Structure 1
């Protein structure tokens, strides 16, 4: 291990500033899920299944919005892509605490759809700023920053909700997220390397020449297909399929395996989140929720530090398999302190899983499509969260909090095996992408 790699990266001002802005931008939503859960359970007197369903609806919105938001960053630039988020965050989160449960569901869906795409922006910018051999350390630093945030946000959210101020806390989430978006727009980190941008400009020159006729190159191409191959309807259908294939040339079995890893990680982390809150809250120890999150996230921070200093990568699928298996023993906990200690083994692998997966996406997908790929990666992660939260809530409501950890771990193991199957089915040729 070479921990000097961290010092070298932190000495680079754009990287250091990106990490700081990323940490600040993540704080609001690190508290949002727990605040929303406790607001629904304690203030609205609904069950954990209902709270998990609300979290699932929100994460479905995020999953649907992430690829679109990532593509918007690729095509129109960061500042224009973030403008809808800045407005939506402050408006929606000001309304959510003051409506009944049935209205919360559509509101949090829209909030998810337009949420600040901080994950995509951070990973895309880090990939643009760093060389290939630096990305593991850079992504590890980003994961470490996330863990620091998740040691702070949920603890603060738990204290605020336990004190009866969940409505004020959710409103503060919206204000803070909107301000974070403005900060990110002001900083405007690069989403492409200088080399890639120059190549993009050169590639665009013929397109500008072609568009002087009043048509985009694709339209001219489809017109020629129509003249050559037959009726307009047939050519339009063929052209649509061709565009779909061209838009997903970066998607390979290896990338699919990484998306499976992201989904599995989302299931485990959201299931663990809900399980921690339920076990500690049912024991009447709400103020100790922060202790458990501090142990869990602190372990992830240590694991991320160690992984980022390694010279060789480890398969993210194998890391996920180990993380899932080590989540199941958390079911043996009986109070906050025993749960805190039992969360350490699985916690040690949280950041390494996310670091290894992000590194693999950056390696497999060309940077002119990396924003879109990272968006789909984020969608897979949030889809896992969407499954994990309500499923864990159902087990908790029908049995006991311990059952949530068993369910999350078992599903994580199953998803890991699916990822291994996809990885073994990969093609030997490297993934190639067409210019956007």
Structure 2
């Protein structure tokens, strides 16, 4: 592995501090669903169904707010967007413990709309601040920090809520969001192309100019990957519960997280990506099927999940890099906001779909349905991308001939 490639990425101006601040903001953001869940269950003494509704409306807010925040960053830069986001987040997490269930549910939509855009800021900065030949390495590093945040954030939120109180967990989350957001505001990373910073008015890019062609397959591959990862995590817990080994769920999920880290580390050290983004996403879905053959023993399940877990971070890195490369000047933030919405969509489908199949059939079927759904969606994205590539080649070949044709 060429670890030196990571040093070259981190040596880019401002990238090191950005990755650190982005990491803390990611820890806070990924902990939000579990902290909201426990705030409703413990703090308001409501059921998990009521908690699920709060998380669902928050997710809707995030899906809508991501592209809107991205568009605002295209027009005005990072600081104005962060300022509004920080104000909304601090108000929500400070007042949240004292809200009634109805007020909390309504406010969760606003919390999602004004979600701290740490993920988007990091990806936008990497897209404009890292040379193209090192961009897949940069996004692999981003995937690694995201992976660690998913391992740390929810666990920390649960620990504080159960050991102290859900109120402390909510206000503590608000503190972390505030500190991370303030750090990003002070750093003020440049997320717009340097050539356009002299002119305060970025070019206006029509939606039909960027939301078409190769971008749609990339977004589909992104959704396919998150569908698989969210789905197989639920299937792992359900499978071990059915076999009377649910106490090993944490260990199996930890092994998945470590495999994902290793996969990202290897992917980022490669000279160039070995497969297109949709191809890696399709492999995540196909290898997820292996979990269905190992639900009876946690040791075999650990082994079966090595491949899909090791491929998921490279898939995220590949899709993020592809989306950033396809984003035109003046619409980078909007495109990466749509990328974030595609991530959210996959997460919102994967876990409920896996849970529904678990309840109706069995863990084997849960792995099967999730794997096939993910592989099928990614396969369609791969086929569409290949078709567009062939069309571009034909157009490029035809252009000189048309130019030489006599009038």
* Aligned-partner Cα distance in 1 for 2:161–2:144: 26
Aligned to 1:132: 132
Mapped pair 1:319 → 2:263: no
| Corresponding position of 1:295 | 255
Offset of residue 5 of structure 1: 0.9
Alignment of 1:328-367 (within 5 A): 328-331=289-292, 332-334=294-296, 339-367=301-329
Q: What is the CA RMSD across the aligned residues, in angstroms?
A: 3.3
Task: Determine the C-alpha separation between the residues in 1 that align with 2:65 and 2:148.
Answer: 26
Residue 315 to residue 294, structure 1, CA distance change in 2 (3 Å): same
| Distance of 1:145 and 1:301 partners within structure 2 | 9
Distance 1:93 1:343, change over 3 A: farther
Which one of 258, 275, 278 corresponds to residue 218 of structure 2? Answer: 258
Partner residue in 1 for 2:80: 80
Distance 1:379 1:35 in 2: 21
Shift of 1:147: 1.5
SS in 1 for 2:210: coil
Say which of 357, 360, 372 aligns to 1:410: 372
Q: 1:268 aligns with which of 228, 247, 256?
A: 228
**Relative to structure 1, is the Cα distance of residues 408 and 80 closer, same or farther in structure 2, using a 3 angstrom cutoff?**
same
Residue 392 of structure 1 corresponds to 354
User: 2-side partners of 1:37 and 1:334: how far apart?
Assistant: 30
User: Is residue 2:71 matched to residue 1:66?
Assistant: no
> Paired residue for 2:337?
375
Mapping 1:25-424, distance limit 5 Å = 25-37=25-37, 44=45, 46-47=47-48, 54-96=54-96, 104-161=104-161, 163=163, 165-198=165-198, 200=199, 246-276=206-236, 290-313=250-273, 314-331=275-292, 332-334=294-296, 339-399=301-361, 404-424=366-386
User: 1:126, CA displacement in angstroms?
Assistant: 0.8
Which stretch of the first structure deviates more once superposed, 131-140 or 261-270?
Answer: 261-270
User: Structure 1 regions of 5+ residues with no counterpart?
Assistant: 208-242, 431-436
Partners of 1:169 and 1:281 in 2: CA distance: 28
Structure 1 residue matching 2:190: 3-state secondary structure: coil
Q: Structure 1 CA distance, aligned partners of 2:237 and 2:263?
A: 23
TM-score by length of 1: 0.78
Going from structure 1 to structure 2, the CA distance change for 1:142 and 1:190 (only over 3 Å counts) comes to: same
Q: CA deviation at 1:265?
A: 2.0
Asked if 2 retains the 8 angstrom alpha-carbon contact of 1:155 and 1:290, the reply is: no
For residue 287 of structure 1, report the CA deviation from its aligned partner: 7.9
Classify 1:26/1:281 alpha carbon distance in 2 versus 1 (closer, same or farther; 3 Å).
farther
- How far residue 339 of structure 1 moved from its aligned partner, in angstroms, is 4.7
Structure 2, unaligned stretches of length 5 or more? Answer: 397-407
Offset, 1:252: 2.7
Instruction: Tell me how far apart the structure 2 counterparts of residues 352 and 159 of structure 1 sit (CA, whole Å).
Output: 30
* Deviation of the 1:330 alpha carbon: 3.1
C-alpha displacement at 1:264, in angstroms?
1.4
CA contact (8 A) 2:285 2:372 kept: yes
Instruction: Provide Cα deviations, 1:279-327, integer angstroms capped at 9, x if missing partner.
Output: 6788998886553443222111111111111122221111111111222
Distance 1:318 1:361 in 2: 15
Q: Does the 8 Å CA contact 2:279/2:379 hold for their aligned counterparts?
A: no
TM-score, structure 2 normalization? 0.83
* Residues 16, 131 of structure 1: alpha-carbon distance in 2 compared, 3 angstrom cutoff: same
Verify the 8 A CA contact 1:25 1:180 in the aligned structure 2.
yes
Change in 2 beyond 3 A, CA 1:58/1:401: farther
Counterpart CA distance in 2 for 1:32 and 1:338 is 32
Cα 1:163–1:336 shift into 2, 3 Å: farther
Question: Residues 356, 132 of structure 1: CA spacing in aligned structure 2 closer, same or farther, 3 A cutoff?
Answer: same
Q: Structure 1 156/348 Cα, relative in aligned 2: closer, same or farther at 3 Å?
A: same
Structure-1 separation of matches of 2:297 and 2:54: 26
Q: Contact 1:57–1:108 at 8 Å: present in 2 too?
A: yes
